[in-house]
Amino acid sequence: MKKKELPDNRGKYGAYGGRFSPEVLMPALVDLEAAFKKYSKEDVFQKELAYYLREFAGRPTPLYYAKNLSEKLGGAKIYLKREDLVHGGAHKLNSTLGQALLAKKMGKKRVIAETGAGQHGVATAIAAATMGLKCEVYMGTEDTVRQKLNVFRMNLMDARVIPVDSGSKTLKDATNEAFRDWIANIEDTYYLIGSVMGPHPYPMIVREFQKIIGEEAKKQILEKEGRLPDAVMACVGGGSNAMGIFNAFKEDANVELFGVEAGGKGIDTGEHGAALCAGTNGVLHGMYSKILQDKYGQIKVSYSISAGLDYPGVGPELSYLAGEGRVKPTSITDEEALDAFKTLSRTEGIMPALESAHAVAQAIKTAPRMKKNQVIIVNLSGRGDKDVFTVAEALGVKL
Amino acid sequence: MRLKEKFSELKKKKEGALIGFVTAGDPTAADTIEIAQAMIRGGIDILELGLPFSDPVADGPVIQKAGERALRAGMNPDIFFETAGKIKGIPKAVLTYYNIVLQRGLDKFCADCAKTQIDGLVIPDLPIEECEPLRSACKKHNVSLILLAAPTTPDDRLEKILEEADGFLYVVSVAGVTGARKDLSAQVKPLIKRIKKRSGDLPLAVGFGISRPEHVKEVLAAGAEGAIVGSAFEKIIEECLGDKKEMLHGLENFARELKTATTRREIGGDTHQQEGKTLK
């Protein structure tokens, strides 16, 4: 039976989601929702987006059978959804192309974005460059140092990176600053949010632009295996690649969905980014969701070796699906993710992004306990080239 | 005294309300009591106390920094209510973000407000669509949930806000974050006029970017009943962190300058003459 479409007309996924935004932004959020509903239904828009996704981004991406890894583990067959092959090196472009196109249709001249590691910033810069939009990206000063290569990449594509020096100087503060910019420049600016988070309609818009991952994967696995997978695994920071692949399988009750969060140094150390596993209900960045906070409601600083998972909240639909028992939240530590990074590189010749390595690590843990005729799909959301310095440092190698 | 009573008292005296905002706990909770007293001596009519949140999206750099200092110095909701309870003789409101209210529990938060004579709650990230649970809790404890309207708020939405508004309407003068600005936003006068057509007896208080006596005068002349000044007070605190005497002195004098501007409504807001010393 098909479940009720979510979000509801108030932008809620059960109790989660909603629109906790300053009054100044509310009319813009209402307009954005209307514009999305209008354009995304139009053939012209869908054709144009399909063109960009095919000719520019390189879709569809392969669903690759990781034979060596599967045989080494001796359990379930592991398939990799190769979002690392999307132009720019990650799934992020699916949504930035969609949103930039939407911004253009809405007559906006400028897009702004927040970025942690810089992946969403780079994907926004790419989309803005190809569509002729002015692009400015907020990034915590800590991150501009840790990820200076991405800062340079953005600059090369004519995007301006604005360092954010407030609070913890990381992704959550960059997000605050992007909201402040949007509040002040609502007329000509489109705020291009990077994940299935923020106030309604953003979690819905980003999911809708990312759901192509799961639609492709479902078709591909049916072609290759003639059946649905037993499990789908994706890393969860804000949750855009996870919702992107889960969406197509949400109603297939026999497909287990693993939302793999950043365990950092271990959940019990308090240094992690696992809002689904260890967070509590609250409001951050315009949404009611699971967040990491203290007993007074102050937001905690998250931690992960992978900057893309280093966020103290998570998209509201994932909080809902986890609450319903549909998504199983798990966590993988830095160390396990690094091991998975090495293992996949050696066995398959594929270097995963450290974010995606969390999902790979979960597959490495789970596959041996499954039967050989069972199937796992791992969303390989990004490639690891951006992480080689971090990995080298963690391994004590000097480059 | 309740907010409503204060506004009607001032109306009789033909004065506008000067609402002074400071972040509680900056630089320390004990200082906040002295800071409030200095501002009261200077003549503020209503005190708005900020309860800091780690991620204040509606605030500009000055109030952000004040919040960070306060949090580092240990401010939390328990200490906040203890501190607020010690500030007497003036109607009070609290400004904080929704998650802080939510985690304390809506009912407990409102009960604590009532207990410490805080008569109004201003929650900048709680729009009308989401405010029902808190509104019920406020009603139960007889405190006002102060709603906000912005230059971007369209008329139909404004009417919905006005239906639910209580205490006073917080008019956001500019599509932007809090912070002192040299000139008053051009958006503010048409906005006040637009709201006035629909707001009946509900007092309007204008905030965001109000930092000089002439700004106060202008918004009152445009028809508002009050002006809210925050970042400009915070700036004095920030500049005098090492010298409390200077800080209290500066706050009191600045409050006095601003208050003077509320007592001369007949002068009108279209004159740009300088009155007294303005903030550097």
Ranges of beta strands (E only) in B6-60 are 17-23, 46-50
Contact B143, B114 (CB under 8 A): yes
Judged by DSSP in three states, B203 sits in coil
Determine the Cα–Cα distance for residues A99 and A102; give it in Å rounded to an integer. Answer: 5
Average pLDDT estimate for A130-159: 94
- Of the candidates B56, B52, B47, which has an alpha carbon nearest to the alpha carbon of residue B85? B47
Cβ contact (<8 Å) for B54 and A298? yes
Contact A382, A94 (CB under 8 A): no
Mean of pLDDT over chain A: 96
Cβ contact (<8 Å) for B99 and A293? yes
Contacts of B157 in chain A (CB under 8 A): 26-27
CATH number at residue B236: 3.20.20.70
Give this complex's ipTM.
0.95
Average pLDDT estimate for A213-233: 98
Phi, psi of B167 (to 5 degrees): 85, -80
A2-11, A367-376, B216-225, range with the lowest pLDDT: A2-11
Residue keyed to tokens 């004065």: B15
Specify the pLDDT at position A92: 97
pLDDT digits (tens, 9 = 90+) for A241-291: 999 999 999 999 999 999 999 999 999 999 999 999 999 999 999 999 999
Identify from A12, A20, A33, A281 which residue to disrupt to test chain B contact, counting B C-beta atoms within 10 A and taking the largest count.
Answer: A20
Q: B112 to chain A, minimum CA–CA distance in Å?
A: 14
**Any CB–CB contact under 8 A between A184 and chain B?**
yes
B57: nearest CB among A18, A19, A176? A176
Determine the Cα–Cα distance for residues B7 and A102; give it in Å rounded to an integer. Answer: 46
Which chain B residue shows the shortest CA-CA distance from A170? Answer: B55
Q: B229 to chain A, minimum CA–CA distance in Å?
A: 19
Specify the pLDDT at position B52: 98
Contacts of A23 in chain B (CB under 8 A): 124, 127, 147-150, 152-153, 161, 172
Strand arrangement, sheet containing A280-284? A12-13, A16-17, A287-291, A280-284
Helices of type H across chain A: 26-41, 43-51, 67-73, 92-105, 119-131, 141-146, 148-156, 171-184, 202-210, 212-225, 240-246, 275-278, 316-323, 334-348, 354-366, 388-394
Identify from B51, B54, B171 which residue to disrupt to test chain A contact, counting A C-beta atoms within 10 A and taking the largest count.
Answer: B54
A297: nearest CB among B56, B64, B100? B100
Contacts of residue A8, defined as CB under 8 A and 6 or more positions apart, other chains included, come to: none
Query: Residues A92, A108, A172, A386: which is the catalytic one?
Result: A92
C-alpha dihedral sign at A364, A369, A375, A376: negative
Ranges of beta strands (E only) in chain B are 17-23, 46-50, 92-95, 118-122, 144-146, 148-149, 169-172, 204-207, 226-229
Written as one string, the DSSP assignment of A318-343 is HHHHHHTTSEEEEEEEHHHHHHHHHH
Judged by DSSP in three states, A138 sits in strand
Q: Which helix (H) or strand (E) element contains residue B232?
A: helix B231-239
CB atoms within 10 A of CB A75: 19
Determine the Cα–Cα distance for residues B220 and B15; give it in Å rounded to an integer. Answer: 9
Which chain B residue shows the shortest CA-CA distance from A12? Answer: B130
> What's the total number of domains in chain B?
1
User: Along the 280 residues of chain B, how does pLDDT read in single tens digits?
Assistant: 799 999 999 999 999 999 999 999 999 999 999 999 999 999 999 999 999 999 999 999 999 999 999 999 999 999 999 999 999 999 999 999 999 999 999 999 999 999 999 999 999 999 999 999 999 999 999 999 999 999 999 999 999 999 999 999 999 999 888 888 888 888 899 999 999 999 999 999 999 999 999 999 999 999 999 999 999 999 999 999 999 999 999 999 999 999 999 986 444 444 444 443 444 3
Determine the Cα–Cα distance for residues A5 and A154; give it in Å rounded to an integer. Answer: 37
Higher pLDDT, A170 or A40: A40
Please tell me chain B's helix, strand, coil percentages from 3-state DSSP, rounded to the nearest 5.
Answer: 50, 15, 40
Q: A299 to chain B, minimum CA–CA distance in Å?
A: 6
Task: Provide the residue range defining the domain that includes B10.
Answer: 3-279
Report the percentage of chain B scoring pLDDT > 70: 94
Residue keyed to tokens 């840790």: A146
Cβ contact (<8 Å) for B153 and A26? yes
The distance of Cα B40 from the centroid of its chain, to the nearest Å, equals 14
Contact A356, A235 (CB under 8 A): yes
Q: Provide the chain A residues 185-204 that lie in CB contact (below 8 A) with chain B.
A: 186
Known catalytic membership, residue A114: yes
Written as one string, the DSSP assignment of A207-268 is HHHHTHHHHHHHHHHHHHHSS--SEEEEEESS-HHHHHHHGGGTT-TTSEEEEEEEEET-GG
Contacts of A173 in chain B (CB under 8 A): 55
Judged by DSSP in three states, B8 sits in helix
Confidence of residue A146 (pLDDT cuts 50, 70, 90): confident
Query: Residues A114, A177, A348, A355: which is the catalytic one?
Result: A114
pLDDT digits (tens, 9 = 90+) for A47-99: 999 999 999 999 999 999 999 999 999 999 999 999 999 999 999 999 999 99
Determine the Cα–Cα distance for residues A398 and A372; give it in Å rounded to an integer. Answer: 40
Packing angle, helices B244-262 and B213-221, rounded to 10: 30
Contacts of A184 in chain B (CB under 8 A): 175-177
Determine the Cα–Cα distance for residues B110 and B120; give it in Å rounded to an integer. Answer: 9
Looking at residue B127, what DSSP letter applies?
-
Known catalytic membership, residue A345: no
**Any CB–CB contact under 8 A between A293 and chain B?**
yes
Cβ contact (<8 Å) for B61 and A166? yes
Active site residues of B: 48, 59
Amino acid letter for position A37: K
- Of the candidates B193, B173, B191, which has an alpha carbon nearest to the alpha carbon of residue B183? B173
B102: nearest CB among A184, A186, A282? A282
Which chain A residue shows the shortest CA-CA distance from B53? Answer: A298
A297: nearest CB among B99, B127, B172? B99
Cβ contact (<8 Å) for B57 and A186? no
A22: nearest CB among B53, B76, B124? B124
Q: Inform me whether the pLDDT recorded for A299 exceeds 50.
A: yes
Cβ contact (<8 Å) for A20 and B76? no
Tally A–B CB contacts below 8 A: 112
Contacts of residue A55, defined as CB under 8 A and 6 or more positions apart, other chains included, come to: none
Q: Which helix (H) or strand (E) element contains residue A112?
A: strand A110-115
Determine the Cα–Cα distance for residues A340 and A165; give it in Å rounded to an integer. Answer: 34
**Any CB–CB contact under 8 A between A144 and chain B?**
no
Cβ contact (<8 Å) for B130 and A19? yes
Determine the Cα–Cα distance for residues A232 and A157; give it in Å rounded to an integer. Answer: 35
CB burial class (10 A; 0-12, 13-18, 19+) of residue A99? buried
**Any CB–CB contact under 8 A between A176 and chain B?**
yes
Cβ contact (<8 Å) for B55 and A167? yes
Contacts of B124 in chain A (CB under 8 A): 22-23
Report the percentage of chain A scoring pLDDT > 70: 99
Q: b or e along B237-254 (b: 16 or more beta carbons within 10 Å of the residue's beta carbon)?
A: bbebeeebeebbebbbbb
